[in-house]
Chains A and B, each alone.
Chain A
Amino acid sequence: MFDFIKKLFGPEPSSVTARERLRLVLLSDHLSLAPDVVESLKLDLIEVISRYCEVDIANCDVTFEQQEKQVAMLANIPILGMRSRQAPRAPEPPPAPAPPPASTSPAAAQSTAQPQPSSPKAGAGTGAPRRRRRRKPSGGVNPAPQAT
């Protein structure tokens, strides 16, 4: 619809329209997904992320981009702030000092659970290094990174 209006009023050549139509049609061909499925995937993604962050829903954008031999999903989801809900979750991770349970927990849970035990020890640590550390333990399994 938007494309149609642009074609009517804008000076945009029809080959641009053809390119865009081609891109979209091949996308759904390659994914075997109908466009409405992509839309509901976007809404589901927003819903999940909204549990942890405040999301700028109006400016969310989920697209698929054709790369060498595959299609990549690019999600641009602006974060307005963190949900205060994280606080009540904080007490949960500390009673689990054993590293194995932490590493076996799903990735989404890990990302919110991990920073809590590390921040009290490395109080001066900034946000950036903390993020980096978070990735290491998932590969290294040991609780050592917390001591840093």
Chain B
Amino acid sequence: MHDVIPQGATDAPPKARGRAIVVTSGKGGVGKTTTTANVGAALAASGAAVVLVDADVGLRNLDIVMGLEARVRHHVLDVLEGLASVDEALVSDKRVPSLKLLAAAQTREKDDVDTAAFRDLIGTLRDRFDYVLIDCPAGIEMGFANAIVAADEAIVVCTPEVSAVRDADRVVGLLGDGRKVQLIVNRVRPEMVRKGKMLSVDDVNAILRLPLLGVIADAPDVIISTNKGEPVALDAASPVGSTYRAIAERISGTRSDEPELPREKSFFEKLFGGR
């Protein structure tokens, strides 16, 4: 193996290896990147050392959702190819000091990623962080294979749509039996579910049969927060933010209750624009 990762990059005492969790879905546009950003932010806000790795080489977006795009100097391929050290490439989040980002390369292609080198990089990061969250590209090609190779856990993000469930089902099959796979159902509209106009979480999970980490409402908060580049998970007043924080607690094991379904807005909340 070529020496892509400088040794001695860590000055922290040796500790238990962190968990490498890939966030994946198969279908594009269901909220993988938003989920990665918010789950990562919530985990870091609870005190864990978290690094978010954007594996979507060629279509990098995690830095945008995190609001860190202006501070990216090096990307994951620079590190894999020995052009930058891990420390040079990691971007610190000023809002949550224990949260770091390793951005994807924007002008390169997914096939440029050396699978073995990427696996080694994730291994190095696991020695330094409690959580390594890998934002997987859409699809099930090379980029997907690279993103899942070093992860021993997966979060499948699925929306209540036939196409998303079908793709998620395919991805669950590809992830195999060797990984802990959990589910986040994203963009649920409780009112539509009640009226029978949207698949319910139970409908989705009757197919996927995965442990449920949480259910995210299709709420304006999420769109507004991505507009601003501020993860909604860090917004103490946002109900969606609190759902992300509950998901983080289920991941870390400090919470084991059944995930709550998003509730409908009351009449007065609608009237006064409450969220």
Contact = CB atoms under 8 A, between A and B. Distances in A.
* Pair from one complex: yes
B199 A29 contact: no
B153 to A, nearest CB: 20
Nearest to A30: B169
Given A15-B197, A15-B198, A21 B203 contact: no
Interface in B54-109: none
30 contacts: A13-B197, A14-B196, A14-B197, A14-B198, A15-B193, A15-B196, A15-B198, A16-B196, A18-B161, A18-B162, A18-B198, A18-B199, A18-B203, A19-B199, A19-B203, A21-B162, A22-B165, A22-B166, A22-B199, A22-B203, A22-B207, A25-B162, A25-B166, A26-B165, A26-B166, A26-B169, A29-B166, A29-B169, A29-B170, A66-B207
Interface residues of A, number: 12
Interface of B: 161-162, 165-166, 169-170, 193, 195-200, 203, 207
B166 to A, nearest CB: 6
Nearest to B164: A22
Contacts, number: 38
A15 B203 contact: yes
A26 B193 CA distance: 21
B83 to A, nearest CB: 42
Nearest to B161: A18
| Top-10 shortest CB links A-B | A13-B196, A22-B162, A15-B196, A18-B199, A21-B162, A18-B162, A15-B199, A14-B197, A25-B166, A19-B203
